[in-house]
Amino acid sequence: LWRASMIVNMDSVTEIFLKLLFLLCVHRQHMAVTGNKYNCDDQLVSALPQSSFSSSSELSSSHSPGFARLNRREGAGGWSPLVSNKYQWLQIDLGERTEITAVATQGGYGSSDWVTSYLLMFSDSGQNWKQYRQEESIWAFSGNTNADSVVYYKLQHSIKARFLRFVPLDWNPNGRIGMRIEAYGCTYRSEVVGFDGKSCLIYTLNKKLINTVKDVISLKFKTMQSDGILLHREGQNGDHITMELTKGKLSLLINLGDTKTHPPNAQINITLGSLLDDQHWHSVLIEHFNNQVNFTVDKHSHHFHAKGEFSYLDLDYELSFGGIPVPGKSGTLSRRNFHGCFENIYYNGVNIIDLARRH
């Protein structure tokens, strides 16, 4: 059990120091976000070693995947598979989890070999793959119309992954599959913590700094388990707010323990997503402004008016991530702790994992 807490009774010097430290952390976080947003366009492929490239097959040693760098002419001038069909792929290992913001392709140098459309897949492990999606569907990228022109594509949503795989769909009918590629982005910085299904991370809030009007909680999670508690906050009278993974779907439950003083329709249970136990990263955002609540899982959001519930909730000054500290308190919940990984947990701008690591 890790506990990160802030001191409530502090002298003025310590309080000023902690405020300055908090402002510094917020400033650093803002600079990182700004950097990712505007300067995350470094070339990622050109300097990679030969061992970082692999493919489904190769036409010859001079058509190997290591020759697939953009604008290069070594070997036969690019990668070509042994047989041109839709079962071929070209893969790169970026060496670490990276934010990818754009990709570019060419055909084989001085040839009639180019790809006219392709899919893009990504993975953290090189084994469990996910297809790039846009506009709620698998996205087919438009490729090349000749061997040497570069077709650049800025991704609508950046990818965070270590491995990229280009899968040709169509190619020049008068030639074969031929590719040279580049990816653009930057190093992805993150704080990650693992949970074993028996532990939880508790954040004790500073009562002086609690803002009853606004609360923002954001995190990413990855798991192979279909059930588990991601977030829990409980009050003295059975009131609680819980975010729980149930059969691969994520539910946000706002429960008022005293049903005598609150109407039944004051309780809320919102479910979003499906198949979230696929060992890929999924993002979660809970925003509470006055009585307006926004619950977002990946790109899917549910907005609702809380009808006064938050003004009624009598909650403790603790947030529990990954489980419930005292099992059996919260009614019919499964009470199964989370087994998997959390990344970049923020509560009102506070980096919870960083606090746990430093304390």
pLDDT at 186: 94
pLDDT at 180: 98
Q: State the chain's mean pLDDT as an integer.
A: 82
Q: Are 252 and 286 in contact (CB under 8 A)?
A: yes
User: Is the confidence at residue 21, as pLDDT, over 90?
Assistant: no
pLDDT at 118: 98
User: All domains of the chain, ordered by start, with CATH?
Assistant: 42-187 (2.60.120.260), 192-326+336-358 (2.60.120.200)
> Using one digit for the tens of pLDDT, what is the confidence trace for 272-284?
999 999 988 999 9
Confidence of residue 37 (pLDDT cuts 50, 70, 90): very low
Confidence of residue 289 (pLDDT cuts 50, 70, 90): confident
Residues 6+ apart with CB under 8 A from 123: 129, 130, 161, 162, 163, 165
Average pLDDT over residues 76-102: 96
d(CA 118, CA 113): 14
β partners of residue 141: 118
pLDDT at 263: 54
Confidence of residue 251 (pLDDT cuts 50, 70, 90): very high
pLDDT at 34: 37
First to last CA, the chain: 12
* DSSP H or E stretch at residue 92: strand 90-106
Indicate whether this model's pTM tops 0.75: no
**The tokens of 215 are what?**
């609360």
| 84 phi/psi in degrees, rounded to 5 | -90, 100
pLDDT at 28: 36
